[in-house]
Amino acid sequence: MTFLKTFEERGFFKQTTHPEELKNRVESGRICAYIGFDPTADSLHVGHLIPLMGLAHLQRSGQRVIALMGGGTAMIGDPSGKTEMRKMLTEQQLEANVVKIKPQMERFLDFEGDSELINNSEWLRNLNYIDFLRDIGRHFSVNRMLSFETYKARLETGLSFLEFNYQLLQAYDFLELNKRYDCVLQMGGDDQWANILAGVGLIRRVHQNEAFGWTYPLLTTASGRKMGKTEKGAVWLDPEKTSPYEYYQYWINCEDADVEKFLTLFTFLPMDEVQSLGRLQGAEIREAKSRLALETASLIHGKEEALKAEKAAKSLFGDGGESEDIPSTQLDAILLQDGMGIFDAFRKSGLCKSNGEARRLMNQGGLYLNNEVVSDPDYRITAQDLLEGTALLRAGKKRYHRLTLQ
RNA sequence: GGGGAGAUACCCAAGCGGUCAACGGGAUCAGACUGUAAAUCUGACGGCUGAAGCCUUCGAAGGUUCGAAUCCUUCUCUCCCCA
């Protein structure tokens, strides 16, 4: 089965430049394709999963893939679809980010063969301005660039010349990859459409080569929220930033209407299995959700961590039972000798940001110790509250934290 | 370079000398309903507090006043129009 079929079947498709020619090209032999990732943070997040899965499907179907780290482009910052300029990152930060992101990529892609992980700073950093303008800049029409939808918001609020150049650099990346690796396909989220088109056009003008662009849909949840956001912010792939437990929770808490779509896009489960999970109704949908959570967590954190997260979830939300794997904080036994204020405990655990917030939680009846509502603001946790060495704090219905003795 | 508009809490956005910790909306949190779902309803939503109260906040620094987010001065930044 070609990856085109897979993409179509699994929803990795929003638009493409010239579908017929691409199909012919794919059928006539192996191709090389790439996606760029700007290292704007020290970890990838859930928003990067679709492109990662896309590349992975491509590689599994036998194509050569290139994951391009935008060490050079991230110095500029892509204004596409953004309402304001990002804060500038130093070269050192970007380098450090690349180092941390690399192993995350390796969970999806195999760079042992001829597939590559490259950094575009390799060719962007030493560009000569005048040469670049004369060789590349002359192929770009400002009129046309301004007409793109992606800049619309920025034309209202302001777009610096720096950012306006981003598209040229991304187009130049594609040109360079085309030249070096005969890379003929660039993919990306649909917000990248204009940038991708620019690259395709540039390759045609400069080398008279045919190149293709392909975009993935930009996901929102069924009720319209942004994918990959929680109250705490982005859901990261780095376990230090988003623990496997939280990661698992993110997926198991998805909306009913999203389960099948998420299984399709974010797991490698065969489609017939996805569909049978998708047929579940009512409370049974939870089975599909737990499968989704287990699969996605396994991909990022490994099977073992995923199973731990599942076990923790079962012990908290299922038939009780104990688990070591609930997020926890260790306490010095001395702290409990005179008892620890209940609000302090909630603050230390990170469940509440301030005493006021903890008090509010209590007033609203959402503050629990060992699954009992606590309503006394002066309550002090002592050793007697520890059951087998742990006290279970709970804020609201589903935020848990354990206190354990050191 | 010239002219104009603006900067308010997580975001948007009122307020334009006292009744302002600051209308309203969104986000968020809690409760009810459920299935760790969505939708809906109710409540909360700067910090310290049982509360009264106190403290910090309306771009920054000064000033006027019994009293300022609101008036004045200087500064910083943003946007728009013209060159």
CA–C1' gap, A351 and B44, in angstroms? 17
Does any domain span residue A236? yes
Which pLDDT score, from 0 to 100, does residue A79 have?
83
Kindly state whether residues A59 and A145 are assigned to the same domain. yes
- The answer as to whether A322 is a domain residue is no
The answer as to whether A222 is a domain residue is: no
User: Does some domain include residue A62?
Assistant: yes
pLDDT in the model for residue A322:
65
Active-site residue, A86 included: yes
Higher-scoring residue by pLDDT: A263, A404: A263
Q: Which residue has the tokens 């700073």?
A: A121
User: Which residues, by CB, come closer than 7 Å to strand B?
Assistant: A 155-158, 160, 222-223, 225, 230-231, 249, 252-256, 282-283, 285-286, 289-290, 313-314, 316-317, 343, 353-357, 359-361, 364-366, 377, 395-399
Nucleotide nearest to A361 (CA to C1'): B30
Average confidence score pLDDT of chain A: 91
DSSP state of A190: G
Q: Give the pLDDT score at A351.
A: 92
Q: Is residue A221 one of the residues assigned to a domain?
A: no
- Say whether both A311 and A352 belong to one domain: no
DSSP 8-state symbol, A183 = E
More reliable by pLDDT, A183 or A222: A183
Q: Would you place residue A293 in the very low, low, confident or very high pLDDT band (cuts 50, 70, 90)? A: very high
CA A405 to chain CA mean position, Å: 35
pLDDT surpassing 70 at residue A321:
no
Q: Are residues A365 and A303 in the same domain?
A: no
Which of A317, A350, A366 is where one domain is finished? Answer: A317
CATH of residue A313's domain is 1.10.240.10
CA distance A56 to A65: 8
Write the CA distances from A215 to A17, A114, A146, A276, integer angstroms: 9, 24, 21, 28
Please indicate, yes or no, if residue A181 is contained in any of the structural domains.
Answer: yes
Q: For A221 and B38, how far is CA from C1' in angstroms?
A: 11
Active site residue A40: yes
Q: Is residue A221 annotated as a catalytic residue, yes or no?
A: no
Domain of residue A351, CATH code: 3.10.290.10
Tell whether A83 and A181 lie within a shared domain: yes
Domain count, chain A: 3
Tell me what pLDDT residue A353 has: 87
Nearest nucleotide from residue A314 CA, by C1' atom: B36
pLDDT value of position A143: 84
Of the residues A2, A6, A15, A40, only one is catalytic, namely A40
Q: Where does a domain end: A162, A195, A216?
A: A216
Q: Is A337 assigned a catalytic role? A: no
Tell me the per-residue pLDDT of A367-397, one tens digit each, with 9 for 90 and over.
Answer: 999 999 999 999 999 888 888 888 999 999 9
- Contact partners, residue A156, CB within 8 Å, separation at least 6: none
CATH number of A156's domain: 3.40.50.620
Q: Kindly state whether residues A173 and A244 are assigned to the same domain.
A: no
* Residue A1 predicted with pLDDT over 70: no
Query: What confidence score (pLDDT) does residue A146 get?
Result: 82
Q: Out of A10, A45, A289, A394, which one is annotated catalytic?
A: A45
Residue A252's nearest nucleotide, by CA–C1', is B36
Strand pairing of A116-119 and A64-69? parallel
Residues A288 and A263 in one domain: yes
| pLDDT tens sequence across A139-173 | 999 888 888 877 776 777 777 888 889 999 999 99
Name the domain boundary from A269, A284, A317. Answer: A317
| Tokens representing residue A375 in the block | 């309503």
Q: Say yes or no: A135 and A189 in one domain.
A: yes
- For residues A177 and A306, membership in a common domain is answered with no
| pLDDT grade for A273, boundaries at 50, 70 and 90 | very high
Classify residue A104: in a domain, yes or no.
yes
CA dist., res. A15 & res. A22, Å (int):
12
A60 within a domain of the structure (yes/no) = yes
Is A256 a catalytic site residue? no
Going by the DSSP 8-state scheme, the letter that residue A215 receives in this structure is E
Same domain for A195 and A276?
no
Active site residue A2: no
User: How much is the pTM?
Assistant: 0.91
A360 is catalytic: no
Q: Which domain holds residue A252?
A: 229-317
**Domain co-membership, A197 together with A265:** no
Q: Which nucleotides of B are covered by protein (CB under 7 A)?
A: 28-32, 34-39, 43-50, 78-80
Question: Do A192 and A241 fall within a single domain?
Answer: no
A148 and A285 co-located in one domain: no
